């Protein structure tokens, strides 16, 4: 399970609740969120020419706050739930 958490100018990527990457960036979220008649889709890039996602997506969750590492870990499904 992959989880991306954005807080301020930092993005943190988790795999199964464990941090695998952290990146500091200079872009504002407002500069990358589609506006006007542009729609964003899961598995489809906003940029022409990018391939579609080739994967199975079984669960999607959105939070309106940046999660802590502990919150990410506790939100992961158990092996039985997978």
* Secondary structure in 3-state letters for 34-48: CCCCCCCECCECCCC
**pLDDT higher than 90, residue 19:** yes
pLDDT-based confidence at residue 51 (cuts at 50, 70, 90): very high
pLDDT at site 7: 85
Which residue would you say has higher pLDDT here, 33 or 65? 65
Copy the structure tokens of residue 45: 């890039």
- Number of DSSP helices (H) and strands (E) in the chain, helices first: 2, 3
pTM, two decimal places: 0.65
Closest CA to 19 of 57, 76, 58, 60: 76
Across the range 55-66, mean pLDDT stands at: 83
């Amino acid at each position: 399970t992959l989880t991306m958490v954005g807080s301020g100018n930092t993005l943190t990527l988790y795999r199964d609740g464990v941090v695998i990457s952290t990146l500091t960036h200079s872009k504002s979220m407002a500069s990358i969120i589609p506006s006007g008649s542009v729609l964003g889709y899961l598995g489809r890039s906003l940029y022409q020419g990018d391939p579609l996602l080739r994967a199975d997506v079984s669960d999607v969750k959105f939070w309106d706050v940046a999660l802590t590492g502990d919150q990410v870990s506790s939100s992961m499904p158990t092996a039985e739930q997978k």
